[in-house]
């Protein structure tokens, strides 16, 4: 589990295709790897990935074809948002994030508005039902609060600190971004639709 509070910006140093899968070597940027071991989880642009190798200032992960098919942004040279897995004693500053990306949205607007920046995204139709005003959403691994929803489009406001500490400062209209909807919305739907009548 993660919080959606980004700890560092890294960079994909190498993308090695392994059939339909891939191995990524990632420069960790300012992420402290002293307490990271092979087998630990790190969220990369919101995707929970397992560390398979470590080197000074760098870690490697394997990415399956299934993950590559439902995510965006894993290209050589790309900056990526990084967060180590949540420990039970950690402060939950964002919201509970699983690191299981639900789909890819498309940025439709990125404009300064007063002291913040308005980010508008069109979500896949199958995900839009889970996105609610004042609810939580994860974009590129960043925990954000939804301010407006209009059919498949939703908007969030990014404060200067968020832009400074994450890769969201680089997005432009047309960019594809990883989305994870709030876990509570998934569970609420399951509770509402599950047929508990005996068979």
What does pTM read for this prediction? 0.91
Backbone angles phi, psi at 122, to 5 degrees: -95, 120
Output the six-digit token pair for 71: 């995510």
Question: pLDDT digit of tens for each residue in the chain (199 aa)?
Answer: 899 999 999 999 999 999 999 999 999 999 999 999 999 999 999 999 999 999 999 999 999 999 999 999 999 999 999 999 987 767 777 778 889 999 999 999 999 998 999 999 999 999 999 999 999 999 999 999 999 999 999 999 999 999 999 999 999 999 999 999 988 777 777 777 777 655 5
Backbone angles phi, psi at 35, to 5 degrees: -105, 15
Strand segments (E) across 56-115: 58-63, 79-84, 103-113
What are 137-191's pLDDT values in tens digits? Answer: 999 999 999 999 999 999 999 999 999 999 999 999 999 999 999 887 777 777 7
| Measured distance CA(12)–CA(16) in Å, rounded | 11
Domains and CATH numbers, the chain: 8-84 (2.40.30.20), 103-190 (2.40.30.20)
Output the six-digit token pair for 47: 């995707």
| Measured distance CA(63)–CA(21) in Å, rounded | 6
């Amino acid at each position: 589990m993660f919080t959606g509070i980004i700890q560092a910006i890294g960079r994909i140093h190498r993308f090695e295709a392994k059939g339909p899968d891939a191995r990524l070597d990632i420069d960790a940027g300012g992420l402290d790897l002293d307490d990271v071991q092979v087998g630990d989880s790190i969220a990369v642009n919101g995707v929970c990935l397992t560390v398979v190798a470590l080197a000074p200032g760098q870690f490697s992960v394997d990415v399956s074809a299934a993950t590559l098919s439902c995510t965006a942004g894993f290209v050589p040279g790309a900056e990526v948002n990084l967060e180590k897995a949540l420990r039970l004693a950690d402060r939950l500053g964002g919201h509970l994030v699983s690191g299981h990306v639900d789909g890819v949205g498309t940025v439709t607007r990125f404009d300064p508005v007063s002291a913040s920046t308005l980010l508008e995204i069109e979500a896949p139709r199958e995900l839009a039902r889970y996105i609610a005003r004042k609810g939580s959403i994860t974009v590129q691994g960043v925990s954000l609060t939804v301010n407006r929803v209009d059919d498949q489009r939703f908007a969030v406001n990014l404060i200067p600190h968020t832009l400074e500490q994450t890769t969201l400062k680089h997005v432009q209209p047309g960019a594809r971004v990883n989305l994870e909807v709030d876990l509570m919305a998934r569970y609420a739907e399951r509770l509402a639709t599950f047929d508990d009548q005996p068979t």
